[in-house]
Structure 1
């Protein structure tokens, strides 16, 4: 297998040299990185700038992502190496699939898709839980050039319907249910309801019957997954890899839009592979043959990049985990998985660690687990508050790497490149821009702000390989959403600052910057202060309407298990703490103790919805909310203080 790596690990100037090399010759840098991909037709043109500031990467190359993730590893000696470990505490099962076994499953399923009429360029929606077949489905689509769109299993019927209408899938792949710690969620009624609501109707649905739920089948539309794959296997039917252009879409992944209409982020084949292979080695420092545990879901971009594609492209082993950080069965769940499968890295969201810390603040469940193979914890998905980072560092004794990226970019923008060199950590900062990203901080007029000054975080165009080339069938919406606010830059919609050392601090979305009596203040900065209180497990600060000051901050806090202080005592101390650390200018007078915070299934706190409740405004139920009942609890708590 061929490949290329940047400066050797441990090189004292590894990051600086590598970033400077990219700055001096971006096309040369990515042309070299592209050698890690096995192309059908290698690129002669690395970047086509004919589209102006945006452009296309590897426009004349052809490739196949599935071949790079599976076939070449089987050919080159990894056939018997574990590729995928399915660890499911909610069903009590564990299954290991070698590269040869995954290839067999994927090629067989791809043949079934072809028999159902799926061809290159057709869309396939995948609506499945965290089971191996979800990964097989993604790779099977990639194998035959179909464009997959994974929708989080259990998504509401109306939200699934909007995605069906936007993607217009040829077929939909699903399972009968998802298994949660305390319940089984039936998917088939949700899917049937979505198809009834949607204008577009798929030709067929391929249904995997799980042991927990046997669903009734639609007479003409539904096909039995196991029956068709067994028939294909009995006849030796397997699909070959189909050549696609590097610029052809691999998948469409929907992210929430401000209008309520989801945005279909497009990911191409070639640039995606190049960036993920570079990141696996240089950012995550995972070597081929090693085990990476990414505790996310295939419904999110993290699951796409670092459960399925990144590890397999790199020849590593990936853990597909069907469980929670707590409650399956206890706060030691992640430690068991890391120890049992000898994972060298864990990638999860900060909210998972806040949940673990809330239930087990002394990390007693860590005892007895051998983490000698474990080298680093990676956090992303939301801001990693310094207090959580310090706690993780203290109990794990390994580098804790906060890094920042978006669904739109598909891989990391700002991070600590462990595979090049471990840079000094500054709590609250995901560290420095990675090659490909020229990160700037601008004021509302698009002018650069001094170091340490809050502003809009933007990325100078063009973006590197892997970043979205457009939105699905919405080029103009893409330009309006990302490219018009700051001409020449991609607008991240995140706010923060860059310090004198070039470290980037992401303090929240631009709408999380509140204006208190003319002072622009970061809710993230206040959350840092609240989280530092020893009784606080997690928190969120939102700006709520105030007749005098325009807005005033309101802090929602969840207390750790076993706290003996009363909520009123803690709240009083929190008000004093913010006044002491940030000053009277913050006008922080309202701390509110709640049992839990409303979150998406990926762990992001729904601050905008909380603000609307506090301001007494109407709001739509967020499509990705984990538990809608929490919003009622928030409303009740606010009304108890005469708010909302």
Structure 2
């Protein structure tokens, strides 16, 4: 392949030819009329006029090319102590059969289905079965609270929900069916059918007329010889909806198309990750996240690789050597995970002693993303693993890397703290508040000049207006990433912080606005604020501040416990919401804006300046005392620049 500079320049010189060449590696039922149609949507439409099927490209074409015996999916579950490998032929059989079951219940192209499952092979099979029929799937992270699931049901209006009876966490079983039942009860939209995969650890009660036993339905279809053919859909038709937190607390349904998505992911598997057909790739993530969509299911299978699907943790299943066991047993060439995982491993095995117990001779590279890869964690991984540790940066909205160090194009020198350079397709700019580019080394808002490349979101589900408002209006002609950072003299990007109120808890992007909405509903709370504070393990943790209603005489400790319980009930344990502080008042500007950024700096013991627009400076002194007494802002609390 070409070098990075050659590849990026080729895209610069002729973007449409660059992506048309990349698209030649995909099977098209009908070729496109236009590589990029800029007339249809604000961000344009890739491969307009083309017809295709993502499931066919992931499975059928490899089997038809004689690679049916190649391992497609290795499923490794330390929590159930089971392992299973599916060849491309076997996975195709399972996908085509489940698709026939869905087809038999009336699901057709354009319908939606929600998938609410743990990290088991059936989750990937369900995604691919939906794709086979042109049914738009929306995977919701298994274990999300009923209220959160209900909002997604009402937004996506699915005809069916595919779920497992439970998920398994270290030391406990999490029943899923009661959460789904409660969500359906809360939602205005009611799905026609639920397909329940009964796991022996927790057998769910079934609702007559609506619920169908997954295993029985598939067994019947196999006995009857039913297999669904691939349905040809437009390249611009949606493949899936993936919900991400919005600043209002109302989730945003990120849409991914079929055609551009395949082209971008297939290109990235070799160019970004250095993977070729037959290589074993492991994204230690979850199909509830964009990483699971892009690099557990679709990307590796499009490229003919073997993908590892892991139901376990980096530690505790059974110990901090879990990742090394998987890499050794399955001959993993590259691992992609979040920095949080390595912070957890480092915390429990600081000297990397357990690494020596395993043969990692096939392992060549570690990729990190999902949150900022802090240099100490990167350095520790480099020292212990003796392989390149590559930070890269992307978002749910983009679906693949905005900036990376492209292994397939030749690695560039690594700079700790930087995801390196923009990938072809991304014209990255660092802007001031007025939309002007800033000088190298100056922090600003990071934006991408339109059009975005293939694979990025074309819109939000049934909400083009919100898409424009959220991403395109602040910097006309650009996509707003809502991340802040700078570019150095060598063109390397450094991503430093979010520019909105989304916090990143162990790779989960969570809205503090959504948590505030829950806290505001507590009977004793008059107003509240939630901020993200730095955490050595999870990157960030939410911290709530509540001001009580006048006349409230309840014990503050009891109120704080109630608030924590309420957020965990409404948002779910994924929020890791454990701390609330009752305060007399919140610091605000004269216009009434709560100074969350300044509060975060105080809690993180960072230098801060007294905001010029603050209404009452004494309130920040009160906040400083409160957080110091509770163990935040250790040592240098209240230090002003």
Deviation at 1:640, TM superposition (A): 7.0
1:605 is matched with which residue? 540
Q: Report if the CA contact (8 A) 1:53-1:488 is conserved.
A: no
Q: Report if the CA contact (8 A) 2:26-2:57 is conserved.
A: yes
Q: Report if the CA contact (8 A) 1:84-1:317 is conserved.
A: yes
Counterparts in 2 of 1:94 and 1:29: CA distance versus 1, 3 Å: same
3-state SS of the aligned residue for 1:419? helix
Deviation at 1:612, TM superposition (A): 4.7
Q: How does 1:271-282 map to 2 (within 5 A)?
A: 271-282=260-271
Counterparts in 2 of 1:197 and 1:179: CA distance versus 1, 3 Å: same
2:389 is matched with which residue? 400
Deviation at 1:182, TM superposition (A): 1.4
Partner deviation per Cα, 1:91-150 (whole Å, 9 max, x = no partner)? 000001111110000000000000111001000000011000000000000001100000
Q: How far apart are the structure 1 equivalents of 2:85 and 2:41? A: 47
Deviation at 1:621, TM superposition (A): 3.0
Relative to the length of structure 1, the TM-score reads 0.82
Q: How does 1:104-503 map to 2 (within 5 A)?
A: 104-503=93-492
Q: How does 1:446-595 map to 2 (within 5 A)?
A: 446-511=435-500, 556=534, 558=536
The question of 1:621 aligning with 2:582 is answered no
Deviation at 1:368, TM superposition (A): 2.1
Q: How far apart are the structure 2 equivalents of 1:454 and 1:331? A: 37
2:579 is matched with which residue? 632
3-state SS of the aligned residue for 2:292? helix
Q: How far apart are the structure 1 equivalents of 2:534 and 2:362? A: 38
Q: How far apart are the structure 2 equivalents of 1:255 and 1:382? A: 15
Match of 2:64 among 72, 75, 79: 75
Q: How far apart are the structure 1 equivalents of 2:52 and 2:80? A: 38
Q: Report if the CA contact (8 A) 1:141-1:147 is conserved.
A: yes
Deviation at 1:220, TM superposition (A): 1.3
3-state SS of the aligned residue for 2:479? strand
Partner deviation per Cα, 1:515-572 (whole Å, 9 max, x = no partner)? xxxxxxxx99xxxxxxxxxxxxxxxxx9xxxxxxxxxx997555xxxxxxxxxxxxxx
1:95 is matched with which residue? 84
Deviation at 1:44, TM superposition (A): 3.5
Q: Report if the CA contact (8 A) 2:546-2:580 is conserved.
A: no
Q: How far apart are the structure 1 equivalents of 2:546 and 2:437? A: 35
Q: How far apart are the structure 1 equivalents of 2:268 and 2:107? A: 32
Q: Report if the CA contact (8 A) 2:331-2:363 is conserved.
A: yes
1:37 is matched with which residue? 26
3-state SS of the aligned residue for 2:16? helix
Q: Which runs of 5+ in 1 are unaligned?
A: 1-5, 8-13, 514-522, 525-541, 543-552, 559-596
Q: How far apart are the structure 2 equivalents of 1:499 and 1:88? A: 43
Partner deviation per Cα, 1:334-355 (whole Å, 9 max, x = no partner)? 0110110000000000000000
Q: Report if the CA contact (8 A) 2:485-2:496 is conserved.
A: yes
Q: How far apart are the structure 2 equivalents of 1:460 and 1:218? A: 50
Partner deviation per Cα, 1:594-641 (whole Å, 9 max, x = no partner)? xxx6x5xxxx634xx326579999998377654566523888999573
Q: Report if the CA contact (8 A) 1:44-1:58 is conserved.
A: yes
Counterparts in 2 of 1:82 and 1:613: CA distance versus 1, 3 Å: farther
1:547 is matched with which residue? none
Q: How far apart are the structure 1 equivalents of 2:255 and 2:119? A: 22
Q: How far apart are the structure 2 equivalents of 1:334 and 1:624? A: 29
3-state SS of the aligned residue for 2:335? strand
Counterparts in 2 of 1:612 and 1:446: CA distance versus 1, 3 Å: farther
Q: How far apart are the structure 2 equivalents of 1:555 and 1:471? A: 30
RMSD: 2.5
Deviation at 1:168, TM superposition (A): 0.2
2:628 is matched with which residue? 641
Q: How far apart are the structure 1 equivalents of 2:487 and 2:326? A: 36
Q: Report if the CA contact (8 A) 1:53-1:461 is conserved.
A: no
Q: Report if the CA contact (8 A) 1:436-1:464 is conserved.
A: yes
Q: Report if the CA contact (8 A) 2:27-2:52 is conserved.
A: yes
Q: How far apart are the structure 2 equivalents of 1:87 and 1:232? A: 27
3-state SS of the aligned residue for 1:210? coil
3-state SS of the aligned residue for 1:412? coil
Q: Report if the CA contact (8 A) 1:436-1:463 is conserved.
A: yes
Counterparts in 2 of 1:150 and 1:88: CA distance versus 1, 3 Å: same
Q: Report if the CA contact (8 A) 2:164-2:196 is conserved.
A: yes
Q: How far apart are the structure 2 equivalents of 1:206 and 1:167? A: 17
Deviation at 1:284, TM superposition (A): 0.3
Q: Report if the CA contact (8 A) 2:247-2:500 is conserved.
A: no
3-state SS of the aligned residue for 1:621? helix
Q: How far apart are the structure 2 equivalents of 1:556 and 1:384? A: 13
Q: Report if the CA contact (8 A) 2:532-2:540 is conserved.
A: no
Q: How far apart are the structure 2 equivalents of 1:612 and 1:301? A: 31
